[in-house]
Amino acid sequence: YLVPEKFKNSDGTSASLNSTFQSNTIGFTNSLGVKTTSRRFRFLARGSYNTQSDYKTGGGLRVTDSRFNDKDFKAGFKYDNANFLTEIRYNYNLANNGIPNAIGEQSTSKEMEGVYQNIANHIISAKNNIYFKTFTLKTDLGFTNHQRKLFKNDTKSVDMYLNTLNYNINAHLLNTGTLETIFGIQGMYQANKNNIETIFLPDATTIDFGIFATTNYDFKKHTLQLGVRFDNRSITTDEHGEQGNADYFAPLDKNLNSFTGAAGIKSDLSKNLTSRINLALGFRAPNLSELTSNGLHAGQYEIGNNTLENEKNFQIDLNLEYAIKNLEFFINGYYNKINNYIYLEPTGEIRNNYDVFTYNQQDAELYGGEAGLHTHPENYKWLHLRSSSEYVRGKTLDGGDLPRIPGFTIKNNARMVFDISNIFRSAYLEINNKNVFEQTRISVHETPGQAYSLFDVGLGTDVHFLKLNAKFFININNLFDRNYIDHLSVLKEENIANQGQNIVFGVNFNI
């Protein structure tokens, strides 16, 4: 989920210029934006360009065809008064992304070679709120035109577009102070179309519809949350190719639906201690890619499974939060039993020089938790210390291990913030440490996940001089140039390491 850029709050016009340089990929990201506000009208626009070479691993080798570049333009308009609000946004993005699968020719070129994707997106959204005496009617409409092309040595092998229309309409009943209720419907119409014979996904139409209701009720030191929902998904696809061939797509006509619900309660157990308990019955219908894919995607060859059924789950989670003046502590735990869990699993096969993955389905359970603390000592208010740990266990009900489950992780952060002068304000020095433990609970054809420890360092400051407001920063990611492969990396099966040391220089100017 991407949070859209905020409009300027106060009347007037402002501009911003942002630029960063990354040493690892010898790449630049530049962005220029403008915002203006006049009484009830607000407008913004921003253009960006990003270009990066093949990234370098901790071992000093560059990963061939990991280069990318993209151009982005966005604009937004907003009008509001006492009776209604309307907000319209447009975004255009054009990206060229290399698809690596080996460490070959060493180059810092930014020109697309080998296998790469060309992806163009046009996104239009409209948000409207109408305020009545007893309720607020909110509507969100969106349209996306997604065009994807795959090239192999400048020869086009995939050319497809995906048009998606989304809607979300809900009524927020008047909040009485203790009771808040929302009714609504959500839906999607999606059409996938191929323009050449070689395809990754078949021509298809997907229609989603959902209806829901939620309510929050506050009483004394407790807040009760209830929700119920019905969803339906219809997917139809066209036949493609000749039966018996590897590139054959059988026609599909699938209709899936489910009822779900959730209940939760938040309680203030004391002045400093808060608890949350949630119970939920969930549902997720398989998507078009999981059902029908047959081709190269994100550096691996994926094969769909048209027999997939709905995922249905029951989850319980518990959260405790404790906070005093200079200390915050939390602990979360959950258990999730999933019927027909859908997962992507390596097959051990090679097709067109890429590892083959297929979608499977099995009853499974996921459980785990997270704990953390944040402290800022009374005598050193400029110092913030954070530490957290995360654990997840995923297995099938017959005792097997699920693929792509991360290892136990511990994260630590120390941040120092202080004002140097009236010109240099909010200066900071930050140190991050991430420790990932070995993952040996793996599925068939999956290799163990290695343990590794990473350190990142960053420093920066805000600069205020006359009418100039700027921010300068330097970050060093993977400070010690550790050569490692993350267990969840899509390049893990190719034994290709993650990015090594990367020094990022950045400056943001606001006028």
- Contact, 201 vs 242, CB < 8 A? no
- Ranges in the chain, pLDDT < 70: 1-2, 298
Helices (runs of H) and strands (runs of E) counted in the chain: 1, 24
Angstrom distance (rounded) from CA 300 to CA 356: 6
What letter does residue 293 receive in the DSSP assignment? -
The reported pLDDT for the residue numbered 468 is 83
- Contact, 261 vs 247, CB < 8 A? no
Total residue length of the chain? 511
Distances (CA, A) of 164 to 34, 91, 178, 191: 29, 14, 38, 7
Please give the full DSSP string across 386-420, using - where no structure is assigned: EEEEEEEEEEETTSPBPSSPPPPEEEEEEEEEE--
Give the residue among 84, 87, 156 at the shortest CA–CA distance from 115.
156
Return the amino acid letter for 376: H
The reported pLDDT for the residue numbered 234 is 96
Contacts of 3 (CB under 8 A, 6+ apart): none
The reported pLDDT for the residue numbered 220 is 86
The reported pLDDT for the residue numbered 3 is 76
Angstrom distance (rounded) from CA 201 to CA 240: 10
Which residues are registered as beta bridge partners of 254?
Answer: 235
Angstrom distance (rounded) from CA 291 to CA 175: 43
Contacts of 379 (CB under 8 A, 6+ apart): none
Token reading at 257:
């639906």
∠ CA 254-260-265 to the nearest 5 degrees?
160
Which residues are registered as beta bridge partners of 317?
Answer: 278, 334
The reported pLDDT for the residue numbered 238 is 92
Give the residue among 30, 95, 94 at the shortest CA–CA distance from 67.
95
Parse the chain into domains and list their residue ranges: 376-511
Beta strand spans in 238-353 (E):
252-268, 273-284, 294-297, 300-303, 311-324, 327-351
Angstrom distance (rounded) from CA 124 to CA 190: 15
Distances (CA, A) of 262 to 118, 169, 278, 361: 41, 20, 7, 24
The reported pLDDT for the residue numbered 59 is 87
Angstrom distance (rounded) from CA 402 to CA 442: 7
Residue 402 dihedral angles phi and psi, to the nearest 5°:
-80, 150
Angstrom distance (rounded) from CA 505 to CA 99: 26
Contacts of 102 (CB under 8 A, 6+ apart): 64, 494, 496
The reported pLDDT for the residue numbered 342 is 94
The reported pLDDT for the residue numbered 182 is 96
Q: What is the dihedral of CA 149, 154, 157, 162, to 10 degrees?
A: 10
- The label of the residue with tokens 């407008």 reads 43
The reported pLDDT for the residue numbered 2 is 65
Q: How many Cα atoms sit within 13 Å of 170 on the Cβ side? A: 19
- The label of the residue with tokens 């969840």 reads 488
Please give the full DSSP string across 193-252, using - where no structure is assigned: EESSSS-SS-SEEEEEEEEEEEEEEEETTEEEEEEEEEEEEEEEE--BS-TTSTT-B--E
Left (φ > 0), alpha (ψ -120 to 50) or beta: where does 348 sit?
left
The reported pLDDT for the residue numbered 394 is 96
pTM: predicted TM-score of the whole model, two decimal places: 0.90
Token reading at 73:
């333009």
